[in-house]
Amino acid sequence: MLEAIVKHQIEKNGAIPLGQYIEIALSHPEHGYYMTRDPLGKRGDFTTAPEISQIFGELIGAWIIDIWAQMGKPALNLIECGPGRGTLMADIVRIIRNFGGVNNNITIHMIETSPALIEKQKQALKSINAQWHSHILSVPSDSPVLIVANEFLDALPVEQLRRADQGWMQKYIGIKDGALTESWQPAPHRLQTHLPPKTRSGKIYEISPVRSEYISNCADLIAKTGGAALFIDYGHAKTHHGDTVQAIKNHKYSDILKEIGHSDITSHVDFEAARNAASAQGLNISPIVTQGAFLNKLGGAIRCKALINAAKNKTQANDIQKGYQRVAHNDEMGDLFKVLCFYKGDLNPAGF
């Protein structure tokens, strides 16, 4: 269905940039990948840290309590971008509730575009008075904000640029012999500004104006109201060449040009570019750290031991151990995933 729509558009108006193709595949209002399904979990296409271990959300809850205390415990807008099934926010709320009435002072805002996932999030947060928005720009700027986002940036579209002898070329998706196919066209100057000038022919760089703009919108909000943002995702700490765009279906790699709208398309986050997008607002930025280092510094290993000691039986203890190992160990998600934090003023975010 979506394939026919995309092909029709290309036949009518010509090849489309890769970023536009990803945008349609994921977010077409009727047939986009995220719009129509819950993609998470064993029976879905992929799984994420909050779905794997409750410790992940609990530690972020503790991080929120700590920084909120440093801010002087003001009325707060707590925002999550791309909340999936709502599991992370539910774990956070369980923790912040334990801190004497905190949640009376905190308004929760969920930023989500998928009707299917909004339904899931409403179930996960049944007893909580939360508000839903389709974009960070519609959150009121009446109070300081704390923004959290896990595996959100990787779902935003990227463009690919390849160095050729005659200059930078941009990846487009067109049609050849009736099938969707990649092609390259000269890249507009505005996409080239952050690329290394002395690049060898053949190298591919990915840039994401959509991601940068989203981060910049978050930074603008924090510059206005005060507060902090925490973005966690897989990617590299420094800008690096390479083609990282991938499609995933049933926990396996698939072709981004096949079954459009039925597989998740993501790419590694360039945390150097993400950092640059936040620094334009004059905020403070923590060094980029790995997820494993961040979680352990917040006391993850200690929390894991406590949960194991309180486990009902050996199987449960094993599951807790395996889950934490998966999110924190360097051979699993611990090293590949990175954490970006930016904040206004004299705060000292934990975990860095």
Binding stretches for ligand SAH (CB under 6 A): 27, 34, 40, 48, 50-51, 81-84, 88, 111-114, 117, 150-152, 155
Nearer to ligand SAH, 15 or 51 (CB): 51
Structure tokens at 159: 């463009």
We find the least distance from the C-beta atom of residue 156 to ligand SAH, in angstroms, to be 6
Q: Enumerate residues 6+ apart whose C-beta is below 8 A from 134.
A: 111, 112, 113
CA dihedral over 87, 88, 93, 95, signed as positive or negative: positive
Nearer to ligand SAH, 15 or 153 (CB): 153
Q: Enumerate residues 6+ apart whose C-beta is below 8 A from 47.
A: 40, 41, 251
The CB density around residue 252, as the number of other CB atoms within 10 Å, is 10
Nearer to ligand SAH, 113 or 325 (CB): 113
We find the least distance from the C-beta atom of residue 27 to ligand SAH, in angstroms, to be 6
Nearer to ligand SAH, 60 or 320 (CB): 60
We find the least distance from the C-beta atom of residue 74 to ligand SAH, in angstroms, to be 25
Nearer to ligand SAH, 15 or 145 (CB): 145
CA distance 134 to 154: 17
Q: b or e along 173-195 (b: 16 or more beta carbons within 10 Å of the residue's beta carbon)? A: bbeeeeebeeeeeebeeebeeeb
We find the least distance from the C-beta atom of residue 121 to ligand SAH, in angstroms, to be 8
Nearer to ligand SAH, 9 or 47 (CB): 47
Structure tokens at 299: 């006391």
Nearer to ligand SAH, 81 or 288 (CB): 81
Structure tokens at 339: 């954490």
We find the least distance from the C-beta atom of residue 39 to ligand SAH, in angstroms, to be 7
User: What is the amino acid identity at position 329?
Assistant: H
CA distance 25 to 8: 14
We find the least distance from the C-beta atom of residue 33 to ligand SAH, in angstroms, to be 9
- Residue 133 belongs to what H/E stretch? strand 130-133
- SS3 assignment, position 259: coil
We find the least distance from the C-beta atom of residue 251 to ligand SAH, in angstroms, to be 14
Q: Enumerate residues 6+ apart whose C-beta is below 8 A from 314.
A: none
